[in-house]
Amino acid sequence: MICVGTSILGILLILVLSMNVICNGGSSAAREMFVSTILETGALKFLAKMYLTTDEINDIVQKNSMGKLDDAVDENLIRIVAGNEEVKGSLGKAPDRSEEATVTDYRVAHEQNDREEIDEDGDGIIVCKIAGSNFLATMLIVKDPSRVTLESYYNDHKAGAPLDKIVSEYGGVAGINGGLYHQNETGGRPYGVTVSNGVIQTNKPQESAGLVLIAMTYDNILVIEDVSKLDEAGVEKLVKDKKIRDGCCFQEESKDSNNHFVQLMINGHERELNGSGSGRNPRTAIGQRADGSILLLVTSGRGAEGHLGASASDLIGIMSEYGAVNAANLDGGSSSSMVLNGEYLMESVTFRKANTSWNLPVAFVVK
């Protein structure tokens, strides 16, 4: 016991000294990456304040901040293609947007590329493996956007469940984790606004700072709506006017206690970044192409297979490369996970939930 205790104390001492070197004696780039990354975690934010003042932390956050991207989604840029059995050469970068650019411009740009997407098993879902410099990722391309729903396990059970259980219980074949939630052993409850099958299940738009609703409409368009300044009546009007059928919230907030972001691309415009824009962590993101296809993305990180994780810049780059017109960041970190046909393609990066996912209250499910 003395040997074990001494070893544990030694490891902790090494970690404490290492973080001190990173924050106070290492390179500025390492310090900025450490702070940006740790502020995106659920339980380790306090580590930044152990070594740096609030002003120093905020200075780092501002150096790696993002420009505003508040435009409303232009639904006219999405033209859903029915019966599209195979999409060839659609992995191209979307063109720069202008006032004259149309949805056709996206398709022409994509068709000019020499890569192919083939739905090998004919299930309407294409699986793409992606390797970045600091992460591995999996992209699911769902050709029919009407198949993507938001299912709330919490609403039915007042608890959360692993992603594979949620997907199975609601008759899905694939899924990714959803938005921000109060994390505990039972999965907590979703923060902000949750809509499932057109029914508002939670309606607390000002429960946390900077909440943004990421949702599918009855017209099968992905919309990204800031609800942080709305009251409950305002949310009800928004859901009705936008014909929202399924959605949940993530957080847009950058300060000494949080470093979260939502909008990645709106109407083909990529979000402008200062520095890296964020730290490196496991990530989950959702996007939509001009032909209506939904892009579901999950990346690794936090030491899994030696990878630190993806940054905001990485997510924007991937979504742009895969032809997204609109895209949003969802809850990341230990929540990030992906299931297809009962198997985890991407697992939660946590020792306690190996080979599965954290207990989640909601998930985007592909039926």
Angstrom distances, CA of residue 25 to CA of 48, 51, 70, 155, 247: 14, 11, 38, 48, 44
Q: Which of 81-85, 101-105, 268-272 has the highest mean pLDDT?
A: 268-272
318, pLDDT greater than 70: yes
Asked whether residue 70 is assigned to any structural domain, the reply reads: no
What pLDDT score was predicted for residue 51?
A: 62
Asked whether residue 12 is assigned to any structural domain, the reply reads: yes
d(CA 174, CA 150): 12
Greater confidence (89 vs 270) lies with 270
Q: Give 221-246 pLDDT, tens digit per residue.
A: 999 999 999 999 999 999 999 999 99
Flag the least confident range among 38-52, 86-100, 123-137: 86-100
> Does 23 lie in the same domain as 170?
no
d(CA 274, CA 188): 34
Q: Give 320-355 pLDDT, tens digit per residue.
A: 999 999 999 999 988 999 999 999 999 877 655 555
Flag the least confident range among 83-87, 137-141, 290-294: 83-87
End-to-end CA distance of the chain: 52
> Does 26 lie in the same domain as 159?
no
Asked whether residue 80 is assigned to any structural domain, the reply reads: no
63, pLDDT greater than 60: yes
Asked whether residue 75 is assigned to any structural domain, the reply reads: no
What pLDDT score was predicted for residue 212?
A: 97
Binned at pLDDT 50, 70 and 90, residue 282 comes out as very high
What pLDDT score was predicted for residue 224?
A: 98
Angstrom distances, CA of residue 117 to CA of 82, 104, 130: 17, 19, 13
- Residue 22: give the domain boundaries: 2-63
Q: Contact 199/239 with Cβ under 8 angstroms? A: no
Count of domains for the chain: 2
Flag the least confident range among 33-47, 178-192, 264-278: 33-47
What pLDDT score was predicted for residue 273?
A: 86
> Does 286 lie in the same domain as 168?
yes
Query: What average pLDDT does this structure show over 260-272?
Result: 94
Token pair recorded at residue 152: 């709330």
> Does 30 lie in the same domain as 129?
no
269, pLDDT greater than 90: yes
Closest CA to 195 of 176, 218, 168, 228: 218
> Does 51 lie in the same domain as 199?
no
Q: What is the mean pLDDT of the chain?
A: 82
> Does 281 lie in the same domain as 134?
yes
What pLDDT score was predicted for residue 293?
A: 96
Q: Give 190-209 pLDDT, tens digit per residue.
A: 999 999 999 999 999 999 99
